[in-house]
Chains A and B, each alone.
Chain A
Amino acid sequence: MTKYEELVSELAPRKFNKIGVVWTIGLVVVVIIGVIAYIDQIIKGQIVTNMRDYVLWGVYISNFVFFVAISFVGSLTAAILRLTNKTWRTPLVRIAEIIAFSAIIMAGITIVLDMGRPDRLLNLFLYARLQSPITWDVIIISTYIAISALILYFPLLPDLAILKKHFKSNAFLSKWYGILSLKWSGSSMQWALQKKSIKTVALLIIPVALILQTVDAWLFSTTYRIGWDSTNLGPYFIAGAMVVGVGSLIAVMFVLRKAYSLEKYITKLHFDKLGQLLVFTCLVYLYFNINEYLLPAFTAPKAEEIHLQELFTGHYAPMFWFVTIGGLIIPILILIFPKGRKPLPLFIVAILVVVTSWWKRYLIVVPALLHPFLPIQGVPESWHHYFPSLHEWAIISGTLAMALLIITILIRYLPIIPIHRTAKEMGILPNGKSKES
């Protein structure tokens, strides 16, 4: 077997082993539970959540913001890092694109779960008001889904053609890889088109991703609410998206590396580089956090002071410090040192970063709603607090499971590491050359 053939058989998608099957079935079960809970919500109304007139947005929205933030990883690795022209990122690009694609699709689905009248979804298009930040969100999310799909698909074409040949013994798989590869034959014209398209879409995805994070932030900062009405929020969300994007990439990468024994391709170097990237993004995010939380304490108007007190010493203090220390300080401290950027410790830090990022979005959405300008009066005592109900936990678990399920299914059938590109970089392409310019 040539080196090339060895490469192909190592990187080609393989059947799931027992763990993979159990994992998939587990995710499906969680998704089904979520769907059942959602159907119950449709029937009974959103009274099954713990949202009420004051905490009018809860975990559905914070979960949505989380998904939007993660989707940034696609543009970060596939586009922004592409500007650096380094080849070390090659093994990571497809994973990042898959994560991003899954995340943005789930973002679109998750926001519908929060609607009081999902049966009137079409109104968003029939009666759309361009003045509304939600309309901007609908437009930019749809756009990002299209672009993420394209940035995943174009680089896939040569690999799909390779897989068609590799699976020629399996009629079904071979046929479908062939169809999806769009009869890719490697002609110079096809290469030219593909290269140009990737360059275009990589360039396009950067502003679109930045607009996406910004518009997401503007859902909050276009209101008057203390804690939301901040000029800092746009860049703050961009920085936060970078953090959770890199964190989730590291986490998924670690798992896949172990599961598919890809140590040859995803090396300690990659972890080291991503660890450095994570430290960098955490430092940037720390800077924005200081601007967002520490600085207002300097000359806080009364309302701001109440909000900050709630976070620093009040009801939300445990969560706030867990998120800030566990999600920012500790990762920075660990990852500054090369020892901390070894695969296993980095993986643990990445998990910590992702989990704290989820709770961070909760902290952005909920506390601000509990101190409106006018005192909360005339409503039941339970309306002065919020913690997600069982229905909400079931539904958001369902969305998270669905996101992982999409990633799992894509990983099952697509090569995790770009085959053709890796072969090219290793110089082991068959026939020594290709029509690729």
Chain B
Amino acid sequence: MDDKKKKTKISSGRRAFLKSGFLAGSAAALTGIGLNALADDDNHTSDKVKVMTSDGKVVEVDSGTVEKAHSCGMKNPTRKEVREGIPGRKFVMVVDLARCRNALKCQESCNKNHYITGHNAWLKVYNMKESQDTAPYWMPMMCQHCDEPACVTVCPVDATFKRRDGIVLIDNEQCIGCRFCMAACPYSARVFNWNEPDQKELVGKDIEYSPEHAGAPSVKGTVDKCDFCPHMIRMGELPHCVSSCPNDVFLFGDAYEDTVTNGSGKSYQLSKLLKDKSGYRYMDGLGTQPSVFYLPPVDRSDKFEDGLDDYNEFQSVTKP
């Protein structure tokens, strides 16, 4: 007994760029739905795996239907997909400095899931104090995935690249180790593998390297940095730092969707969040156009001093 109300039809304009994507997307969406139907048909539960269809939508399918070739259980994307990125998305991160208390769970999770065994973590929580009279605060800093990346501009061999979805990745099999990108980055975001990385967790594992999962494995004589976890995004999951933070400091999402989600699973409208909390970008004046927004450390949830216990000025990677 539904009340039938007139639905007004709003014609969607044609956008050339997304037209082919839409066609591919409908096909993929149908496939996705098809897979979904398959998955939900019977009553025994089986392990579900989230996969991203080629048009950037996430569906859940039986893990048995997906070929495993990657340490996360996903089939590696093609070189073109790696270089172009996930279509129709632009990934951004928001870091709420009002909530950071240097718990360092983000760093632990990043180090663990990227098998970081050097002396320099990719995600560091800085003890920041702009000047003598201003208040100190904790600032998580990682690769900003700039929209005008200085590192990509100076790479002579196209080993680091900027994708359509905003993510900047490194191809460790093409890098010649000149370290010009490290010299160019103003955020000190990159690290170098000065020797053969001692990644014990990867010993014996047959993992196919993909730039989308940096550090698996790390390559001697090349650079590494935060990758915004595309291997997690393709599974519909948030990056490790976001999901492991006990205080919901990080939010991550698609700027085109105007939505970011924190580790607890709560979503916010990005533009509204930045407007209400006066979000900014670090060293915006340099013109690199970073994709990471910071919310100022106002109305702090915790005292700065509480984080000093875990602060080690000379260590960011714990050795076993």
Pairing of A with B: yes
**A378 close to B176 (CB less than 8 A):** no
Contact among A114, A131, A222, A374 with B141 in the assembled complex (CB-CB below 8 Å): A374
User: Chain B contacts of A44 at CB under 8 A?
Assistant: 195
Shortest beta-carbon distance from A246 to chain B in Å: 30
A54 interface contact, C-beta 8 A: yes
B180 interface contact, C-beta 8 A: yes
What is the size category of the interface that chain A forms with chain B? 35 or more
**B183 close to A223 (CB less than 8 A):** yes
Given contacts A132-B154, A132-B156, A224-B150, contact A47 B195 (CB under 8 A): yes
**B314 close to A117 (CB less than 8 A):** no
Shortest beta-carbon distance from A133 to chain B in Å: 6
Most chain B beta-carbon neighbours within 10 Å: one of A46, A57, A372: A46
B177 interface contact, C-beta 8 A: yes
Contact among A45, A56, A128 with B182 in the assembled complex (CB-CB below 8 Å): A56
Shortest beta-carbon distance from B262 to chain A in Å: 24
Interface window among B56-64, B185-193, B236-244, B296-304: B185-193
Interface window among A29-37, A119-127, A318-326: A119-127
Shortest beta-carbon distance from A250 to chain B in Å: 34
A135 interface contact, C-beta 8 A: yes
Interface window among A68-76, A179-187, A234-242, A379-387: A379-387
**B177 close to A373 (CB less than 8 A):** no
B120 interface contact, C-beta 8 A: yes
A51 interface contact, C-beta 8 A: yes
Q: Which of B192-207 contact A (CB under 8 A)?
A: 192-196
Shortest beta-carbon distance from B6 to chain A in Å: 56
**A53 close to B154 (CB less than 8 A):** no
A116 interface contact, C-beta 8 A: yes
User: Chain A contacts of B187 at CB under 8 A?
Assistant: 373-374
B291 interface contact, C-beta 8 A: no
Which residue of chain A lies nearest to B312 when distances are taken between CB atoms in the complex? A378
Interface residues as binary, A37-81 with B (CB distance below 8 Å gives 1, 0 otherwise): 000000011110101111011000000000000000000000000
Which residue of chain B lies nearest to A373 when distances are taken between CB atoms in the complex? B186
**A375 close to B174 (CB less than 8 A):** no
Interface window among B66-74, B121-129, B226-234, B267-275: B121-129
Which residue of chain A lies nearest to B189 when distances are taken between CB atoms in the complex? A374
Assembly CA distance A222 to B154 (angstroms): 8
Interface residues as binary, B148-160 with A (CB distance below 8 Å gives 1, 0 otherwise): 0010011111110
User: Chain A contacts of B188 at CB under 8 A?
Assistant: 53-54, 372-374, 376
A134 interface contact, C-beta 8 A: yes
Assembly CA distance A381 to B314 (angstroms): 6
**B183 close to A116 (CB less than 8 A):** no
Shortest beta-carbon distance from A93 to chain B in Å: 35
**B155 close to A132 (CB less than 8 A):** yes
Assembly CA distance A301 to B187 (angstroms): 18
**A116 close to B157 (CB less than 8 A):** no
**A224 close to B176 (CB less than 8 A):** no
Contact among A45, A129, A138, A376 with B221 in the assembled complex (CB-CB below 8 Å): A45
**A116 close to B156 (CB less than 8 A):** no
A421 interface contact, C-beta 8 A: no
**A116 close to B184 (CB less than 8 A):** no
User: Chain B contacts of A134 at CB under 8 A?
Assistant: 154, 156, 178, 180
Given contacts A53-B192, A127-B158, contact A116 B178 (CB under 8 A): yes
User: Chain A contacts of B191 at CB under 8 A?
Assistant: 53
Which residue of chain B lies nearest to A131 when distances are taken between CB atoms in the complex? B153
**B179 close to A56 (CB less than 8 A):** yes
Chain A residues with CB under 8 Å of chain B are: 44-47, 49, 51-54, 56-57, 114-118, 120-121, 123-124, 126-129, 131-135, 138, 219, 222-225, 369, 372-381, 383
29 A–B contact pairs at CB < 8 A?
A45-B196, A45-B220, A45-B221, A49-B194, A53-B182, A54-B188, A56-B183, A114-B178, A115-B177, A116-B178, A116-B192, A117-B177, A117-B222, A118-B176, A123-B176, A131-B153, A134-B156, A134-B178, A135-B156, A369-B183, A374-B141, A374-B187, A375-B126, A375-B127, A377-B124, A378-B313, A378-B316, A379-B119, A379-B314
